Amino acid sequence: MSKAYNYLTFSPAMLDNMKGFGDITKYKKGSYIFRDKYYVNCIYILIDGKATISKMSGAGGQRTIFILDGHELLNEPTNGGLASSSDCIAFDDCLVLSIDKQTFLDLMSDDFELTKVVIDQISHKTRRMYRQLKNAVNTTKVEKRLAAKLWKLCRDYGTPTKDGTLIDIDLTSISLADLIGIRRETVSRALKTLHDEGLIIYRKRKIAVPNLDDLSKYFKSM
């Protein structure tokens, strides 16, 4: 699966080297890899599968911040003794490498290429967060917020098909609601609006976008 942006991920050689300093654990879909406000002494790296980084909203609902896939950091290698600031949940069955934080920092100290990958991944997440903040403005219509999120998912997980660009992950109305921080019923209405306008095709938990340019013009329009 190609990345929408050419940010750095851990090379097979890096992963092989790091596996000698940690443990690999299989997590079932829906299980927690680490939890918000818990102290985490390890760095977690996704080897295979997908995981979400989530945060409880002020209203008590779960807000999905990122969906991450293979060869990405799940948390940051800070060493300030701070508790985790988010939940990390297996989006599907996945394999995760865990390495003691200090050991990981020592590996970064010895390998500048590894350090560059870490910095690049953190920078990429920061840029994604800025875009999310822009699209989360209360005055933005729900349909446009959803359209912007679907366009981004097409860029990250899109596969060409006869129907257009298929988002190659299961997307329920609940998972979409978590992604943009609104109620499931509101997402269902927004999906119907986008479908009725011919901007998406939604069936069996899969969404296809016939024309990405049309979807982009829709959410960018006033």
The confidence band for 2, taking pLDDT boundaries of 50, 70 and 90, is very low
Token output for 85:
């600031």
Say if 7 falls within a structural domain: no
The number of folded domains in the chain is: 2
The confidence band for 210, taking pLDDT boundaries of 50, 70 and 90, is very high
**Count of beta carbons in the 10 Å neighbourhood of residue 68:** 21
Whether residue 103 sits in one domain with residue 147: no
Mean pLDDT of the chain: 86
pLDDT in tens, 176-202: 888 887 788 888 889 999 999 999 998
Say if 1 falls within a structural domain: no
Whether the predicted pLDDT of 75 surpasses 70: yes
Residue 65 is part of which domain span? 12-135
Whether residue 166 sits in one domain with residue 122: no
Q: At what angle do helices 142-157 and 173-180 cross, to 10 degrees?
A: 100
List residues bridging with 63 in a β-sheet: 55
pLDDT at site 174: 85
Q: What pTM does this model have?
A: 0.67
Whether residue 109 sits in one domain with residue 18: yes
Say if 128 falls within a structural domain: yes
Q: Region 86-106: what's the mean pLDDT?
A: 94
The pLDDT > 90 percentage for the chain reads 51
Whether residue 146 sits in one domain with residue 204: yes
Whether residue 158 sits in one domain with residue 110: no
CA dihedral 56, 58, 61, 67 (to 10 degrees): -40
The confidence band for 57, taking pLDDT boundaries of 50, 70 and 90, is low
pLDDT at site 140: 55
CATH number of residue 192's parent domain: 1.10.10.10
Q: Region 203-218: what's the mean pLDDT?
A: 90
Q: Domain boundary residue among 135, 170, 200? A: 135
Q: Region 14-36: what's the mean pLDDT?
A: 95
pLDDT in tens, 99-139: 999 999 999 999 999 999 999 999 988 888 877 666 555 44
Whether the predicted pLDDT of 159 surpasses 50: yes
Whether residue 182 sits in one domain with residue 92: no
Phi, psi of 129 (to 5 degrees): -65, -40
